[in-house]
Amino acid sequence: MLQQTRVAVVAPAYRSFLRAFPHLRALARASEDEVLSRWSGLGYYARARALQRAARLIDAKGARAFPTSLAAARDLPGVGPYTAAAVLSIAHGLPHAAVDANVSRVLSRLACLQPRTRGRALQTLAERLLDRRRPGDWNQALMELGETTCTARKPACDDCPVRRFCAAFRRGQVSRYPRRRARRAIEQIELRMTLAFDRRGRLLLERGSFPYLPHLWLPPIEVISRRARAMQYPLDRRDTFCHGILHRSFRVGLLRRQVTARELRGEARGRNATERRLFGPTQLASIGRSALLTKALRRAGVPPPAPATG
Ligand code: SF4
């Protein structure tokens, strides 16, 4: 949950998640909608699906917990070298060095190494420096050092506890390491989202047609245009809002109307959703809701569904 998402956002969702899925088997045997519902608001929903697929694989083998070998951990969906090393060192006390972006920056400066040009050099250095008696604490200390002191823009070298070991500081070259990568251009995409309600006030949602969130239930969405530069529309209109996903910025125009019979039958032109259904307030509360859907409902004056509770 903490990959790409702030602690303050994660904390309540984490507690609710653990109440709903107190052990691996509960997570493995839940429906995907249940898991996505508990993930609502955290973004990057592929992580939730990977987590459940991993739980299912472990459960299918009759095991009850995350593996303790690096190779077995790496075989699980969504588990890369960093996650495997972080979980094994922090949860099981095993001697694996976890190199995330913060650690990579600290090591790059300590040894004057550029992360990309020197291949595995940073990982090798991380493993060489690792405190094998307390690998979890060591990894977390390095992450924290990068997060709080050896920051990307303004490293606080005067307060740094490892300053006397730091080659970049000694040479006066801190700003050279690590070399900044060119920022990826933000793609601007204009969307039209249709909030179609039936007579009972139920909302039509579909899944599989919006390629940026293919596994979540969303109102029908059409891509109107894509541009490399920001769009010049005023943003204070009640029926428009902006939303960002990774390096994409969406400007969403809302259309609110009665659902048509053709839409209900899935015959509307250009729709290629894999599933389509009407949702009342209770059902809305039991599915994974992206921030995109939450914002649209708020804009349209639809009361937000009650958050999932433990
Ligand atoms: S001395 Fe400065 S550059 Fe070196 S590790 Fe500490 S904060 Fe980072």
**Closest atom, ligand 1, to C-alpha of 166:** 4
The C-alpha atoms of residue 45 and residue 41 are separated, in whole angstroms, by 9
Q: What is the average pLDDT across 87-95? A: 97
Q: Minimum mean pLDDT among 51-65, 164-178, 187-201, 260-274: which range?
A: 260-274
Q: How many residues does the chain have?
A: 310
**Closest atom, ligand 1, to C-alpha of 162:** 6
Q: What is the pLDDT of residue 119?
A: 61
Residue 270 banded pLDDT, cuts 50, 70, 90: low
**Closest atom, ligand 1, to C-alpha of 155:** 7
Please list every protein residue whose CB sits less than 6 Å from any atom of ligand 1.
Answer: 106, 109-110, 149-150, 155, 157, 160, 162-163, 166, 168-169, 174
Rounded to the nearest 5 degrees, what angle is found at the Cα of 200, between the Cα atoms of 196 and 201?
Answer: 45
Give pTM, 2 decimals.
0.78
Distance 92 CA to ligand 1 centre (A): 29
The C-alpha atoms of residue 167 and residue 10 are separated, in whole angstroms, by 36
Q: What is the pLDDT of residue 276?
A: 87
pLDDT in tens, 194-206: 999 999 989 999 9
Q: What is the average pLDDT across 253-260? A: 90
Mutate to test the pocket of ligand 1, among 104, 107, 110 (most ligand atoms within 8 A of CB): 110
For residues 216 and 293, the answer to whether their CB atoms sit within 8 Å is yes
Distances from the Cα of 129 to the Cα of 14, 81, 107, 209, 260, angstroms: 32, 17, 10, 48, 64
Ligand 1 atom 4 nearest Cα: 166
Mutate to test the pocket of ligand 1, among 169, 173, 176, 177 (most ligand atoms within 8 A of CB): 169
Residue 304 banded pLDDT, cuts 50, 70, 90: low
- Determine how many CB atoms are found less than 10 A away from the CB of residue 219: 23
pLDDT in tens, 133-170: 999 999 999 999 999 999 999 999 999 999 999 999 99
Res 232 pLDDT > 80: no
Res 55 pLDDT > 50: yes
Residue 309 banded pLDDT, cuts 50, 70, 90: very low
Distance 155 CA to ligand 1 centre (A): 6
Ligand 1 atom 1 nearest Cα: 163
Q: What's the mean per-residue pLDDT of the chain?
A: 89
The C-alpha atoms of residue 282 and residue 165 are separated, in whole angstroms, by 58
DSSP summary character for residue 193: E
pLDDT in tens, 183-231: 788 899 999 999 999 999 899 999 888 988 888 999 999 999 887 665 5
Please classify residue 195 by burial: count the beta carbons closer than 10 Å to its beta carbon, then call 0-12 exposed, 13-18 middle and 19+ buried: buried
Res 65 pLDDT > 80: yes
The C-alpha atoms of residue 13 and residue 16 are separated, in whole angstroms, by 5
Bond before 178 cis per omega within 30 degrees: yes
Containing H/E element for 82? helix 81-92
Token couple for 131? 């405190």
**Closest to 243 (Cα-Cα) out of 305, 177, 290, 181:** 290
